[in-house]
Structure formats: C-alpha cells, structure tokens
A and B are shown apart, each in its own frame.
Chain A
C-alpha cells in the first residue's frame, strides 16, 4: 500500500473538523436554521467555542505524542506529563499570586512547560539509557504524577486570576469565525500555531527528516551518521514540554484552579487523536476537534436541559466516540515502524 493512502486517512479527520466549521457558519448566519433547536444545540457559536476549548488540551497532548512517537519512543505517559504540568503551573501561579497577573501567569506557563519537559526527559532516560519497556515507563509517569500531585496538593491554596481572551484586531470582527477563533486566550492561539509549526518542522526541515528517520528506520539514520538517540532524547523532552503546556492550559486558561486528577483521561484521548490522525499534526488536530466536539455537544445537551436521556449517557459521549473512532481506524493507520524499539549502536559522536 502506498504512502499516499495513509496520508488520506489523516485527511478524513481533518475533513470532519472543517465540515463542522462550515456547517457552523451556515447555521449561525441563517436565521431560519438557527431557530431549529437541535441545530442550535449542535452548532451554536457557544457549542463550537466550547469545542475549541476542549480541543486545545487534546491537540497539545496529541502533538506531544507525535513528537515522541515519530522519533520512535512510545509515549502513553502523556496523561502524567499533562498532570505534572498542570500541578507545577498551579504551584507557580499560587507562589506568585502577588505579582502582576500576566507575570504570574507566565511563571505558571513556564513551570508547566519545565515540569512536562522533566517528565519527558525522565521517560527518555528510562527508555533509552536503561532500555526499559516504554509502556511501563509511560505508566510509571502516570502513576508518579498522579500520586505526587495528590500528595503535595494543598486544597486550601487558591490561584488568583487566569488568562483572559485577547481579541485579534480585524479578524475577530469576521462573523462566526471571528467569534470562534479570534477571541481566545493566548495558549489557544499558541497551540494552533504549534500545529502548523510542527507540520512544517516535521516535513520540511532537517530536524524533521532526521527525527522521522529515527522513528522509521534508526539503523538507516545511523549509517548516514545521524545520532539516533540524540534525536530521541531531544524530541521526547520537547514532547513532554508540549504535554506540560496542555496541563498549564487546564489550570491557567480553562479552569483557573487545580483539582486532583484534573486531566481526567485527556492524555489518553490525546493518544487516540494521535492514532486517529495517523501521526500527522493536522490529522491529529482534526481528530482532537472531533473528540473536543463531542465534549462540546455533551455540554450543550446538558445546558439545554435534555431530560429524556439520562445525563450519564450524555457524559459518556466523548469516550464512546473515541473508542469507536480508534477501533474503526486503528487497522488503517500506520505507526512509525521502529516505535518502541531500543536502538543499540557502537558509534558515538
């Protein structure tokens, strides 16, 4: 099967996301369609706004996964990296509560990124230096982050303030699209830009070519003088940083506070988005949007007071869609060939 086919499957998920936006524009601009209750629940600007908010941590988590796995390191520990980022961000925010708000929030972001990066580096050391099974190492990270954050968390501490939306001059005036995309807090913009940057970096730069080679055929990379494990260390650490930023988003932009286990499986849904998107940044963004949308719909249904379906079933929606999507597509995507395999060599730089 040719590689173009695999690129197409990642386009499917991106197509779903684009279709959602188009339908959203049509429904919100047409007064008659906007009167239909179910259309309003499914496609109102508020639903789509919520979708974007739910999508961002998933997209960041999926980018973290792509960074690691494209280079050959399996990362099921995104959940742990996110949680570590969230907790570190919260601690830094609380510690700097009396600073100017923006400085304090940026300290939080910095702490979140550093904590995630540290988790990523630990994962790399375990996986590369100690040749530990990468699934076990990832699981360890999840347990470590969950346990440590719960133990160290002081429920009496309160973070004051969170990131508020910044309207982009001009663009935010575009009907519907402006409301959805251009009136957001900074991490949301950063995440969307990151997806584009990662795509260009992976497929059009030296770093990307070498990283992909390390994940597909490390021996081939080694024989042309590329230090495979250097790229694996580097990208796993950067991946951890991105996952940490996802955690920072939850605390500093979405909720404003930390709660025990607040990532609530988002790291795993990110993994699903990465797989569904066939390890492509745009594909993963599309998949994350699909999963985020189910959360948006779930929220809208609960707000609209739909009573004839028990709310527990509505709450299941995001997870059910994730399972169906991954189960249906997992045979049609192709992971990096050398994923999870330790690379041993005698050469050194």
Chain B
C-alpha cells in the first residue's frame, strides 16, 4: 500500500457542533484502499459522530469530505450509499419483524412487475454469503436470529449495496469471544477483496490485533495516529484518556468468610412469560467477588432483578446473611439485608435524571435519619452528605444541586456508585458497573469494587465484558439460557474456556 495513492476516503478539517457541544473539532483522517483503519476513543470522544457525518446522517458544521479524491456533499445516507460507503451501526439498524431478505433490500428494492422480487434478493444474498463466508438464511425473521448473525446481515446489507468502504461501529461489543474471532476473519477476507474498513472500537486488544493503522480521538479531536507495531495497550490507553492509566488491577488473593448471599434453585420468568431463570443455585461469601459472565440476554438481568426484589421469583429461595429474602421488597432487601445495588440500566433504575445530584445520592435512604425527621427532610444534612461523597468518589459536577442527568455518563455512574458504596453493607450487587463509561472512570470503579471486597463485603459482579470479569472475579459463574452452566475458580479460567461456556459448550471433565 503506497502512501501516494489517492485515499478512498479523506475527511479534512471536519467540525461538528451540536447546540452547546462540539462533538468533532478540526478532524483530519484518510483511509487507503484495502486497509483496516481503527478509530479508537472513549465513549463520547466523537467517533460515532464523525462516522455519522461520513455516512450522511449528520451534516458537518465545517470541513469537507473527499471520496476517491473528489469532494462530496452528502444530504442523506442515500448519497453515502451511492458513493459506496456502507455502515454497520452499533445498534443494528434492522427491522426485527421483517425477514433477512426484506431488511437487506430495504431502500434498494428489487422489483418485478411492480411487486417485490424476494426470490432474486434471496439468491443475491446467498451468493454474497457464500463469497464472504457470511452464513445466513434469507428467509429467517431477524428477531429470531442471534446478535452475531444479525451483524452478518448488516454486513451483507452493506455489501449488497456494493459498498467499497465499510464502517463498523463497535462491532465487537455484542459478541462472544468466538464470534469476535469470526468477525475478524470476515474483516480480513473483506480486506483481501480490496474493501476498505473503518473499525471503531474502544477495546485496545482488538484494535492492536486487527488494524493496519490506528487513529485516536479524544474530546472530538484527533490526538494521535499510530500503527499496531509502534503502539502498546498502555500507550493507546494513555492517548485515549490523556494520562497514564492502570489497565490491570493488582489485588490480593481473596479471603472468603461466611456465606452472605445464597441462591437456591431460583426460577423466574421474563416479560413475555418465558422462563428466564431455570433453577439457579450459587453462594457468595463475604470477602470474595463472584463474577457472572455470559452473553447478554441469558438471564443475567432477571437474576439481578430477582435478587434485588424488582422481579418475582416463581420458585426457589434467596437467603441474605442467613435470612430468607425471597420476593421481599426492594427496601427490605436494601435496608434489612444491608445490600447495595448498582443497576445495569442506571437511567431506568439507578437515578432520577431530573433530580439533583444531592437527591440522587439519598434515593434509597431518604427516609432514614439524618436525612429526614418525621415528615420533613433535612436539607442541610443532605447537601453535606452530597458534598462529602462528591469529594470522595470524584464525581465531576458543578455542584450538589446540578441535575444528575446533566452529568457525563461516567460521572452519573460514579454518582450511583458513590451512593451504593458509601452505605455500610454486607452484599454488593454490581450489574454492568462500567458500561458505557470512560477508561479513567472504569479504573476508579474497579478499584472501589476490590476495596469493598477487601472490607469483607460479598460482591456479585454481573458483566458482559469478559475482560472485566477476568480482572475482578475470584470465581466465575457462566450463565447460558437461564442456567449457570459452570462455576470456575479464577485461576482455572482462561478467555477460551469461559468463551466456550458463554456459547453454551460445556466440556465434560
């Protein structure tokens, strides 16, 4: 690949402003034919905004885009598609109730005698899936397919439109380790076929493994360009965050004490009435972290909801510190069971966006002294409490009275963590505690979780990020289709064996 070749895509001095926010500032970037370019940055660094500009979904405030050396102006994705740009979005843009073929042809329909020619599209899809080893059934309904297959549908959708430039926005976020390897194989094949790929990610290992060149974005600006040969995980992390970051947590071996949380043959159903938990049993001792690994949607959400009293168990028992807490109210579990809960979806369960930071920090203790007395609440005590926690947990906020919803994602999470971790507790349930937040905040929250363990708290950590599970857990339980398929001590766990368990493959010992 010679550098004097005309780049297939070039963005020059792109600035994108939203009311009150500069999402991209003076971004320059080139993409050569047949290369995989990684666009690395934290959440909120402006990666997706930049790609949405390139894909015609947003209009740049300033700057120009060149495709094959020609300046282009895009009004909608239609223009981008016509220029050979295809995008696989982080949240798949597929209509769940339609078939694969219908989704693929949407917007580029094949019509015969005024009617849709599904057969022709299905044949084209089969040809593409054969050529790129993207196995899908054109007649399957999208919502019945696993996410890994849905992603293939998205890739075929772009190829069907003759995309030469493929933008993959966080493609590995939803996949199991094995599926990620499959994705990388497909990416290599596409590169061999002369396609150019922009790979957006915040996962350092993947970026180093697959890309030819790496561009790092921070705060909407390009802060560096490098190659996998020159970079290390540490150097990339430092570029992303703007300071040195500890990627590994050093922690002492656990010293497990008495059983705090005991779950026996627990069963529950999901919103549709389908079984979500099919007889789950495990114990968590004080002073240890039990990590629950698994691909999202295998019952982890329901498990946490049942333990915290947000969902009814249909069978089985839960004991906290020896006391039966099956189907107890959330307040009983929080206050009598002395448990803390960092919920998976902080916006739905963790905070009230329109409440002030101070009020968010007493959401589940507002009825206790000193925050309330009789029927009145004690404002000064609440503010004082908030000021202390903001200081201790490094929540970046203009002040305790700022609405919680106006903080950045990482700081909202730190606010929730501050509330839950500052209460004396025996049990900590942390569900996806670092989802969607920056590397710096992740480091901080991980440290806090380990500290809690060292204080003798029993920690149940649920995460779909395998790295997080591996970094923190003392034992790892893998959930698959509503069951715990195996519990592995950390020392015996490898990415490979946990990955296989996540895919439901259990090797008989």
**Chain B contacts with A in 74-110, Cβ cutoff 8 A:** 75-79, 81, 87, 89, 93-98, 102-103, 105-109
| A345–B108 touching, CB < 8 Å | no
Closest to B118 in A: A204
**Chain A contacts with B in 171-226, Cβ cutoff 8 A:** 200, 204-206, 209-210, 212-213, 216-217, 219-226
Given the known A-B contacts A345-B57, A347-B77, are A205 and B114 also in contact in the complex, defined by CB atoms under 8 Å? yes
Map CB proximity to B onto A298-337 as digits: 1 under 8 Å, 0 otherwise.
0000000000000000000000000000000000001001
In this assembly, does B116 line the interface, its C-beta being within 8 Å of a C-beta of chain A? yes
Closest to A1 in B: B272
* Number of chain A residues whose Cβ lies closer than 8 Å to a Cβ of chain B: 31
Q: A213 to B115, alpha carbons, bound, how many Å?
A: 17
In this assembly, does A98 line the interface, its C-beta being within 8 Å of a C-beta of chain B? no
- Chain A contacts for B157, CB-based, 8 A: 224
| A205–B115 touching, CB < 8 Å | yes
- Chain A contacts for B63, CB-based, 8 A: none
User: What is the CB-to-nearest-CB distance from B107 to chain A, in angstroms, rounded to a whole number?
Assistant: 3
Given the known A-B contacts A205-B114, A224-B93, are A348 and B98 also in contact in the complex, defined by CB atoms under 8 Å? no
- Chain A contacts for B58, CB-based, 8 A: 346
| A216–B143 touching, CB < 8 Å | no
Given the known A-B contacts A204-B116, A348-B75, are A222 and B108 also in contact in the complex, defined by CB atoms under 8 Å? no
- Chain B contacts for A347, CB-based, 8 A: 56-57, 75-78
Chain B CB count within 10 A is highest, among A219, A224, A346, for A224
In this assembly, does A349 line the interface, its C-beta being within 8 Å of a C-beta of chain B? yes
| A217–B272 touching, CB < 8 Å | no
In this assembly, does B144 line the interface, its C-beta being within 8 Å of a C-beta of chain A? yes
Q: A212 to B95, alpha carbons, bound, how many Å?
A: 9
* Number of chain B residues whose Cβ lies closer than 8 Å to a Cβ of chain A: 36
In this assembly, does A3 line the interface, its C-beta being within 8 Å of a C-beta of chain B? yes
| B94–A2 touching, CB < 8 Å | no
| A221–B107 touching, CB < 8 Å | yes
Q: A222 to B107, alpha carbons, bound, how many Å?
A: 9
Given the known A-B contacts A205-B114, A209-B105, A209-B116, are A223 and B75 also in contact in the complex, defined by CB atoms under 8 Å? no
Majority secondary structure, B binding face:
loop
- Chain B contacts for A220, CB-based, 8 A: 93-95, 103, 106
- Chain A contacts for B103, CB-based, 8 A: 220
Q: A337 to B89, alpha carbons, bound, how many Å?
A: 19
Closest to A206 in B: B109
In this assembly, does B189 line the interface, its C-beta being within 8 Å of a C-beta of chain A? no
Query: Looking at the complex, which one of B59, B78, B81, B96 makes contact with A346 (CB distance below 8 Å)?
Result: B59
Q: A226 to B95, alpha carbons, bound, how many Å?
A: 13
Query: Looking at the complex, which one of A1, A205, A346, A348 makes contact with B116 (CB distance below 8 Å)?
Result: A205
Q: A347 to B105, alpha carbons, bound, how many Å?
A: 20
In this assembly, does B141 line the interface, its C-beta being within 8 Å of a C-beta of chain A? yes
Chain A CB count within 10 A is highest, among B102, B106, B111, B272, for B106
Map CB proximity to B onto A216-254 as digits: 1 under 8 Å, 0 otherwise.
110111111111000000000000000000000000000
Q: A3 to B81, alpha carbons, bound, how many Å?
A: 30
Map CB proximity to B onto A123-143 as digits: 1 under 8 Å, 0 otherwise.
000000000000000000000
- Chain A contacts for B55, CB-based, 8 A: 223
Q: A348 to B56, alpha carbons, bound, how many Å?
A: 9
| B107–A225 touching, CB < 8 Å | yes
- Chain A contacts for B102, CB-based, 8 A: 209
